Amino acid sequence: MLHIVNKSPFENRTLENCLRVIVHEEGAALLLTEDGVYAATKGNIAENSLKAVMGKIKVYALWPDLEARGMQDRVIDGIKLVDYGGFVDLVAEHRNNQSWL
Amino acid sequence: MTEATGGIDFEDEGSGIVKKFMFVNRKAPYGTIYALEGLEVVLISAAFDQDVSLVFLDDGVYQIVKGQHTKAIDVKNFSPTYRALEGYDIEKLYVLKESLEERGLTVDDLLVDVQVLDAAGMAKLMAEQDVVLSF
């Protein structure tokens, strides 16, 4: 299942709330978009929580959103970057998806 | 096609494909419109004879807390509607255990009967759905 988070980890607990559920799902994927991409950057408040789950779930970040925010050179190692085409592929590859609004 | 359905063909009852629909509620009831709008969509979905589940996560559990009185804020109290869902054959209601606990709530504080799931149970239930709609 593909999970999408679009909120900054500094703004609220959406990412943490998402992670604690999806870490139990084998084959889960997480895509960070919009302000959610700040969580994909080195030294941010959620870095350790993300690294802790990266062995279990796949983590992606949307490149255009990273680039728009000037964060493209700070991405945590192991997070895969996708463009809009890659976003569509992720949606198509997974059985279903959930946006953690 | 018939005039009664506005020219739209409807399958005979029971002959259509039944999919697993999940509505994920993650917002408190009155601060934003999400909860009310989500509930409206759930009620609409009841007309289509699908396999519907409702889950309440995070602040979403506040939607089904007993004792809501909204007169003083001049907003419709829609919480009694959750109790009516049973009448529409929507009986699969789930709550995340952690979300209840971190708010100091128990199932006795809720106005509907729910199944309490831990995070692992919730992840499993979510992953097996055909369609997930988030509010």
The predicted model gives A62-79 an average pLDDT of 94
Q: Spell out the per-residue pLDDT of chain B, length 135, in tens.
A: 445 555 556 555 556 889 999 999 999 999 899 999 999 999 999 899 999 999 999 999 999 999 999 999 899 999 999 999 999 999 999 999 999 999 999 999 999 999 999 999 999 999 999 999 999
Give alpha helix (H) positions in B79-118: 80-84, 97-101
Mutate to test the interface with B, among A4, A12, A13, A21 (most CBs of B within 10 A): A21
B2 neighbors B33 (Cβ within 8 angstroms): no
Q: How far is A84 from chain B (nearest CA, A)?
A: 21
Residue B134 with chain A: CB contacts under 8 Å: 98-101
CA atoms within 13 A on the CB side of B63: 31
B55 neighbors B27 (Cβ within 8 angstroms): no
The predicted model gives A52-59 an average pLDDT of 96
Measured CA to CA, the distance from residue B69 to residue B109 in angstroms comes to 15
Contact A96 B34 (CB under 8 A): no
Position B2 scores a pLDDT of 46
Residues 12 through 51 of chain B touching chain A, CB cutoff 8 Å = 24, 26-27, 34
User: What's the pTM value of the predicted model, to 2 decimals?
Assistant: 0.83
Position B13 scores a pLDDT of 55
Q: How far is A96 from chain B (nearest CA, A)?
A: 6
Measured CA to CA, the distance from residue B118 to residue A53 in angstroms comes to 18
Out of A13, A22, A101, the one facing B134 most closely (by C-beta) is: A101
Instruction: Please provide the size of chain B in residues.
Output: 135
Confidence of residue A97 (pLDDT cuts 50, 70, 90): very high
Q: Which of B79, B83, B52 is nearest to B68 (CA)?
A: B79
Residue A23 has pLDDT above 50, yes or no: yes
Quickly count: other Cβ atoms within 10 Å of residue B97's Cβ: 14
A30 neighbors A51 (Cβ within 8 angstroms): no
Out of B57, B131, B132, the one facing A17 most closely (by C-beta) is: B57
User: Does B135 contact A at CB distance below 8 Å?
Assistant: yes
Contact B119 A20 (CB under 8 A): yes
